[in-house]
Copies of this chain bind each other. A is one copy, B any other.
Amino acid sequence: MKKKSIKDIAHELDLSKTTVSFVLNKKGDEKNISKKTQKKILDYVKKVNYQPNQIAKSLKQGQTNTIGYLVPDISNPFFAKIGRLLEDHFWEKGYHLLIGSTDENTDKEAQLLNMFVNRQVDALIVASCFIQSDSIKSLLAINFPLVFFDREDPDVTANYILVENKISMKNAVEKAIELNSKKLGLITLTPDVYSLKNRIEGYKMALENKKIAFDEQLIRIVDNNDIQKGTEKELKTLIESGVDAVVFTNNQIAVIAIWLMNTYYKDKVNNIRFVSFDNVDQFDYSLPKVISVAQPIDKIAKYSTEIIEDILNSKKSKNKRIELMPKLIERN
């Protein structure tokens, strides 16, 4: 029993493809197809469990009802949760998510971008690691429906959903200092994206405000290629240099560090304070205690969806830049 097409159905019912197509698309009344014919078609379709071929429809209509969701790592809870929210928002509109993880790799990102565009996704939502890439430039040039989130390149005008990084990080770090931290290290992924740079700026700003001397040695950079090992090494360095607080620029390394602390430095978990950008549920009961900056993921998803829908409906992009305020979670 091979798959039936509209043609088969039309043939078997002694009707034309057009009539069948109209009825299936609920244009039966509008197109003045007789009730009788409509019923005949609908009944038959149900009986043989006809399934329309979306690919053919997509080709014809130049629209796939698919959104590409491109992030560094879909299994990172931050991206996974946003993905889930996007899926929910798009569900009622009949859009689905095609996912891709770039591993913070510029080449892979470019490849995925191209593949997704070839697959004719209707829009892209991406946390890019290289907004200046040629692929992205040419997408922007043709006004491809595109929204960036989590990462920004101030030199590139586009749609962005971002959170405020600098002040938020400053506030979090100041909070730690107020709670008595005196020597604060920082661990970050390679800060070649703007948001990380700003978070580091915020850290520096807090030190300055609170009259704590800034020490370049206390800023530790973890290479994107082996995050686990890198975090382990840098955390060790900081602990041996006697810090009483460690600031992390994203959840991924913070989570790894919490694990490391509980595994190798159990005796210190009560004497060190953590500060992390991005919140994850387990911070609520983790040791070391974590002051975190929670990004409003529901808003990020909501605005992304809205902008995309706006573009898709109006066919023109306005290059909105939305900056959301994250929430400081203290846990003192």
Q: How far is the CA of A51 from the CA of B111 in the complex (A)?
A: 12
Q: How far is the CA of A231 from the CA of B77 in the complex (A)?
A: 21
Does A166 touch B at the CB level, under 8 Å?
Answer: no
Q: How far is the CA of A83 from the CA of B84 in the complex (A)?
A: 13
Q: Report yes or no: A101 in contact with B87, Cβ–Cβ below 8 A.
A: yes
Does A332 touch B at the CB level, under 8 Å?
Answer: no
Q: How far is the CA of A59 from the CA of B55 in the complex (A)?
A: 6
Does A58 touch B at the CB level, under 8 Å?
Answer: yes
Q: Report yes or no: A77 in contact with B80, Cβ–Cβ below 8 A.
A: yes
Closest residue of B by beta carbon distance from A63: B55
Does A314 touch B at the CB level, under 8 Å?
Answer: no
Closest residue of B by beta carbon distance from A115: B96
Closest residue of B by beta carbon distance from A85: B75
* Interface band, chain A: 35 or more
Q: Report yes or no: B77 in contact with A117, Cβ–Cβ below 8 A.
A: no
Q: Which of B64, B114, B141, B285 contacts A258 (CB 8 A)?
A: B285
The interface centre, meaning the residue of A49, A94, A116 with most chain B CB atoms within 10 A of its CB, is A49
Q: Report yes or no: A120 in contact with B54, Cβ–Cβ below 8 A.
A: yes
Q: A74-B80, A80-B77, A84-B74 are in contact. Are A55 and B58 (CB under 8 A)?
A: yes
Q: Which of B53, B64, B285 contacts A287 (CB 8 A)?
A: B285
**B-chain residues with CB within 8 Å of residue A84 when the two chains form the complex:** 73-75, 101
**B-chain residues with CB within 8 Å of residue A73 when the two chains form the complex:** 84
Q: Report yes or no: A98 in contact with B98, Cβ–Cβ below 8 A.
A: yes
Closest residue of B by beta carbon distance from A69: B99
Q: How far is the CA of A56 from the CA of B59 in the complex (A)?
A: 6
Which residues between 64 and 101 of chain A lie within 8 Å of chain B, taking CB atoms? 64, 66, 73-75, 77, 80-81, 83-84, 87-88, 94, 96-101
Does A118 touch B at the CB level, under 8 Å?
Answer: yes
**B-chain residues with CB within 8 Å of residue A116 when the two chains form the complex:** 96
**B-chain residues with CB within 8 Å of residue A285 when the two chains form the complex:** 258-259, 261-263, 286-287
Q: Report yes or no: B263 in contact with A51, Cβ–Cβ below 8 A.
A: no
Nearest Cβ on chain B to A54's Cβ, whole angstroms:
5
Q: Report yes or no: A263 in contact with B284, Cβ–Cβ below 8 A.
A: yes
Does A138 touch B at the CB level, under 8 Å?
Answer: yes
Closest residue of B by beta carbon distance from A114: B51
Can you list, as one digit per residue, whether each of A256-287 has a CB less than 8 Å from chain B (1) or not (0)?
00110111000000000000000001101111
Q: How far is the CA of A74 from the CA of B84 in the complex (A)?
A: 6
Does A1 touch B at the CB level, under 8 Å?
Answer: yes
**B-chain residues with CB within 8 Å of residue A258 when the two chains form the complex:** 282, 285
Which residues between 29 and 74 of chain A lie within 8 Å of chain B, taking CB atoms? 49, 51-56, 58-59, 64, 66, 73-74
Nearest Cβ on chain B to A296's Cβ, whole angstroms:
16
Does A142 touch B at the CB level, under 8 Å?
Answer: yes
**B-chain residues with CB within 8 Å of residue A27 when the two chains form the complex:** none
Query: Measuring CB to CB, which residues of chain A are less than 8 angstroms from any residue of chain B?
Result: 1, 3, 49, 51-56, 58-59, 64, 66, 73-75, 77, 80-81, 83-84, 87-88, 94, 96-101, 114-120, 138, 141-142, 255, 258-259, 261-263, 281-282, 284-287
25 pairs, A vs B, C-beta closer than 8 Å: A3-B142, A51-B118, A53-B120, A55-B58, A55-B59, A55-B119, A59-B59, A66-B98, A74-B84, A80-B80, A83-B99, A94-B115, A96-B99, A96-B100, A96-B115, A96-B119, A97-B98, A97-B99, A99-B99, A258-B285, A259-B285, A262-B284, A262-B285, A282-B282, A285-B287
